[in-house]
Copies of this chain bind each other. A is one copy, B any other.
Amino acid sequence: MAKVNENYAKLPGSYLFTEIAHRTARYMEEHPDAKMIKMGIGDVTRPLVPAVLEAMHDAVNDMSTSENFHGYGPEQGYDFLRNAIVENDFAARGVDIAADEIFVSDGAKSDCGNIGDLFDVDNVVAVCDPVYPVYVDTNAMAGRAGDYDEAAQNWTNIVYMPTTAENGFCPALPERDADIIYLCSPSNPTGTVLNFDQLKVWVDYANEHDAIILFDAAYERFITEENVPHSIFEVPGAKTCAIEFRSFSKTAGFTGARCGYTVVPKDLVRDGQSLNAMWNRRQTTKFNGASYIIQRGAAAIYTPEGKQQIEDTLDYYRANARVIKEGLEAAGFTVFGAVNSPYVWCKTPEGMGSWEFFDLLLTKANIITTPGAGFGPSGEGYIRLTAFGDAEATKEAMQRIAQLEL
């Protein structure tokens, strides 16, 4: 008899965005004329830039002749893209990463999930709280999370590291030894960052404990401040303890096009095994490379025109983030994130829960946000707003909030 992976049955429902959609739909049914402004889901809205569009059209044209047709490509990604990544994302920042340490994929979510294939079930996993749910859920599926405690809203074997205003959004080193540590900077959902010194503490910890840091840098393009690493490999020692995930989703609007990459240094070895060789084996066995057309589009962001064009789009979102931060602060709210991130993490009014504040903004201002509690127990007392919307609508949202009577 075929036996299923019993860990799936332990997963609680993924209610966050379902519940948001449900509450929003119910409100809109009762108020069909309400002009809703969406600031909830972290999806981009601006078009792909001309350089990317042109490269994609050219790549589609390549597929129209047998001379230029591209069939199976290298599972690790085409050299034209891997080399552009090495040069622009790493060498240009003084970081020495080789092309065969770059693995191009269909997106960071896939890689963040699939990376678990490389690890034994008996590893202690530590995550920040609040956190991107994929880290926890994929480990729960793999049997590393223990059991789900409904009352505490957490998993018995996961080490949760509160990341809140009280500790400046820099998690303390865990009391229990952690083997696999997920860090995300700029953070989803809090929009805060780890600076060089803060990140170095983690790199040193990981090297001392032979732990591995899984570093999610999907939002690095939003960093504006000095002394904030864009890559964990800017920190000495990271190559022996870290894997980094990158995405073209927020960098260049690829949420629907799908492309990202993962950096696995050749110096990263555990149990005598090279993690680079293991990931190479995993990807060549269970993946067939990202689409040629999409890789051509991704490579175009590294051309002079492409660079300028994606910066213009990023500036559009960065301006939205400033508008949200300043608007909320002017309205008397305590706000985090936004400076180095498209996410704004806003404290709820005194004594108000995050779902209660969500409902208030939904019904009184017709703004859809995300309740912080959906990202973990320590997200209670906050909501997340995103800067990926239309600029005019973003300004309008802040005007509505300014007029709220709380």
Segment 1-42 of A: residues with Cβ below 8 Å from B: 1-6, 8-9, 11, 14, 41
Residues in B neighbouring A48, C-beta threshold 8 A: 60, 63-64, 69
Residue of A50, A113, A179, A256 with highest tally of chain B CB at under 10 A: A256
Residues in B neighbouring A137, C-beta threshold 8 A: 285
One digit per residue, 1 when the CB lies within 8 angstroms of any chain B CB and 0 when it does not, for chain A 292-318 equals 111000000000000000000000000
User: In this assembly, does A83 line the interface, its C-beta being within 8 Å of a C-beta of chain B?
Assistant: no
Residues in B neighbouring A71, C-beta threshold 8 A: 43-45, 253, 255-256
Of the candidate stretches A160-168, A271-279, A327-335, A342-350, the one touching chain B is: A271-279
User: In this assembly, does A198 line the interface, its C-beta being within 8 Å of a C-beta of chain B?
Assistant: no
Residues in B neighbouring A255, C-beta threshold 8 A: 71-72, 288
Decide yes or no: A109 and B286 within 8 Å by CB, A45-B71, A64-B53 being known contacts.
yes
User: In this assembly, does A387 line the interface, its C-beta being within 8 Å of a C-beta of chain B?
Assistant: no
Q: Do residues A289 and B258 form an inter-chain contact, with CB atoms below 8 A?
A: yes
On chain A, which size bracket covers the interface? 35 or more
A71–B45 Cα distance when bound, in Å, is: 7
Q: Do residues A123 and B291 form an inter-chain contact, with CB atoms below 8 A?
A: no
Decide yes or no: A119 and B3 within 8 Å by CB, A14-B284, A258-B288 being known contacts.
yes
A281–B13 Cα distance when bound, in Å, is: 9
Residues in B neighbouring A113, C-beta threshold 8 A: 285-287
Q: Do residues A8 and B118 form an inter-chain contact, with CB atoms below 8 A?
A: yes
Q: Do residues A60 and B63 form an inter-chain contact, with CB atoms below 8 A?
A: no
A2–B14 Cα distance when bound, in Å, is: 28
Assembly stoichiometry (copies): 2
Q: Do residues A2 and B63 form an inter-chain contact, with CB atoms below 8 A?
A: no
Sample 8 A-B pairs with CB under 8 A, ordered by A number. Answer: A1-B209, A1-B211, A2-B212, A5-B118, A5-B119, A41-B72, A114-B114, A257-B291
User: In this assembly, does A110 line the interface, its C-beta being within 8 Å of a C-beta of chain B?
Assistant: yes
User: In this assembly, does A395 line the interface, its C-beta being within 8 Å of a C-beta of chain B?
Assistant: no
Query: Chain A interface (Cβ within 8 Å of chain B)?
Result: 1-6, 8-9, 11, 14, 41, 43-48, 50, 53, 56-57, 60-61, 63-66, 69-73, 106-107, 109-110, 113-114, 117-120, 122-123, 134, 137-138, 141, 179-180, 209-212, 253, 255-258, 270-271, 273, 275, 278, 281-282, 284-294, 390
A292–B6 Cα distance when bound, in Å, is: 33
Q: Do residues A286 and B134 form an inter-chain contact, with CB atoms below 8 A?
A: yes
A141 to chain B, nearest CB (A): 7
Residues in B neighbouring A390, C-beta threshold 8 A: 66
Closest residue of B by beta carbon distance from A177: B1
Q: Do residues B11 and A271 form an inter-chain contact, with CB atoms below 8 A?
A: no
Q: Do residues B2 and A270 form an inter-chain contact, with CB atoms below 8 A?
A: yes
A232 to chain B, nearest CB (A): 15
Residues in B neighbouring A119, C-beta threshold 8 A: 2-5
Pick the contact of A47: B5, B66, B110 (CB < 8 A): B66
Q: Do residues B8 and A109 form an inter-chain contact, with CB atoms below 8 A?
A: no
Residue of A63, A180, A273 with highest tally of chain B CB at under 10 A: A63
